[in-house]
Structure 1
Amino acid sequence: MALIDIVTTTVAGLGYELVELERSAGGTLRVTIDFPWEPASEGGVERFVNVEDCERVTRQLQYTLEVEEVEYKRLEVSSPGIDRPLRNERDFERYVGEVVDLTLKAPMGAAAQGQVAANRRKFRGTLERADTGWQLTWSDEPEPAPGARVSKKKKEPATLQVLGFTLDELKEARLAPIVDFKGRKRAGVQEQGK
């Protein structure tokens, strides 16, 4: 049985899903887990992996890997973190409305029609569903510096740009690591008490 199959089966048996599996040259086995996602329309509640979840999976994997005679020096089990990789259609559905970093396999070229650099492959913007797949919406206008005074004078709204893409065109996609110490608000989740 292949290592990916062993780890996937073990993690799924405990009620989690495998996000990423990495084996380093030094013998470290890195396993990233998360709870399976169910859309809110299906009664899904957002749950987050904690230390106890990682410990539980670590203990079971240690036992399973020993039985399957898989050699490794160190096992690391963790949550996906704030820069979670997006790998499949379900991941993209889960994070609609969130800020995402994308890297395309090939530069934009002439398709951008001069709106962005022809050799640009990296983008950060808000993930949205589109008719033909997915799209990213962003503005190249810089954000004001934290603590800086923002003028109250009326000015023209920032020009938004849109990039349509399919998952086949992506080299990598991750949630943008945006830290908000007041609590990151998820798309579609309202603040309590308002």
Structure 2
Amino acid sequence: MPNLQDVLESTLPGLGYELVDLELAQNGLVRLFIDKPGGITVEDCVTVSNHFTRLFMVENIAYERLEVSSPGLDRPIRKPEDFARFAGQLVKVKLRLPLPDKRKRFTGTLIGLEDGSVVVDADGERLALPLAQIDKVRLEPQF
């Protein structure tokens, strides 16, 4: 059976979408978060859902339910290209373990990835947070 992540990563760009996140639940739920320049509409979700429903049948990928969604305004940032694309935007960073100063959460302007660290300007302080220590990086919506 093909690797689900590989199937999604190889198929979505051809449809004009990017895979932002994939969640697999024990009850057979497959949840896809997709994006494209300009954002995602309900029609985009329907298109992707219909395509993968048929593709999963052909590829014999077992699942009970498929959900396709936009990543939302607080989109996760995971891939190296995401860090470059969203540089200059406000982000929230959560570490797996606190730093020596006991801090585990940071909000600041994303500078990018440098030498294996996520670099953020938090209140004028340049922080290099090791990628291996990162639990989550998400865009922080501004209204």
TM normalised by structure 1 equals 0.65
**Structure 2 contact 22–33 (Cα < 8 Å) conserved:** yes
2:109 corresponds to which letter in structure 1? T
User: 2:43 is paired with a residue of what secondary structure?
Assistant: helix
* TM superposition outliers: structure 1 runs of 4+ over 6 Å: none
Tell me the amino acid that sits aligned with residue 63 of structure 2. Answer: Y
Higher mean displacement: 12-21 or 165-174: 165-174
Q: In structure 2, what is the Cα distance between the partners aligned to 1:64 and 1:73?
A: 14
Larger strand proportion, structure 1 or 2?
2
* Partner of residue 76, structure 1: 67
Q: Which has the higher helix share?
A: 2
Answering whether residue 131 of structure 2 is matched by residue 167 of structure 1, we say yes
Give 1:106 deviation, angstroms.
3.3
Once the two structures are superposed, residues 13-54 of structure 1 have per-residue CA deviations (whole angstroms, 9 ceiling, x without a partner) of 21211111111112211011112xxxxxxxxxx421211111
**Aligned residue identity for 2:103:** R
Mind listing any 5+ residue stretches in structure 1 that lack a counterpart?
36-45, 110-117, 140-159, 181-194
8 Å contact kept, 1:10–1:61: no
What are the Cα deviations for residues 129-150 of structure 1, in whole angstroms up to 9, with x where unaligned? 48755422233xxxxxxxxxxx
The 2-side partners of 1:18 and 1:134 are apart by 21
Larger Rg: 1
User: Retained in 2: the 8 A contact 1:10–1:60?
Assistant: no
- After superposition, residues 1-194 of structure 1 pair within 5 angstroms as 1-35=2-36, 46-109=37-100, 118-129=101-112, 134-139=118-123, 160-178=124-142, 180=143
Distance 2:28 2:113 in 1: 42
Distance 2:8 2:127 in 1: 36
Letter in 1 for 2:111: E
Cα distance in 1 between the residues matched to 2:23 and 2:38:
24
What root-mean-square deviation, in Å, do the aligned CA atoms of Structure 1 and Structure 2 show? 2.0
The 3-state SS of whatever aligns with 2:132 is helix
- Mapped to 1, the partners of 2:13 and 2:119 lie a distance apart of 31
Distance 1:55 1:130 in 2: 34
- Aligned equivalents of 1:164 and 1:54: distance in 2? 36
CA offset at residue 126 of structure 1? 1.2
> May I ask how many residue pairs the two structures share in their alignment?
141
Normalising by structure 2, what TM-score? 0.86
- Quickly say closer, same or farther: Cα 1:52–1:131, change in 2 above 3 A: closer
* Residue type of the alignment partner of 1:54: C
Measure the CA separation in 2 of the matches of 1:162 and 1:47: 30
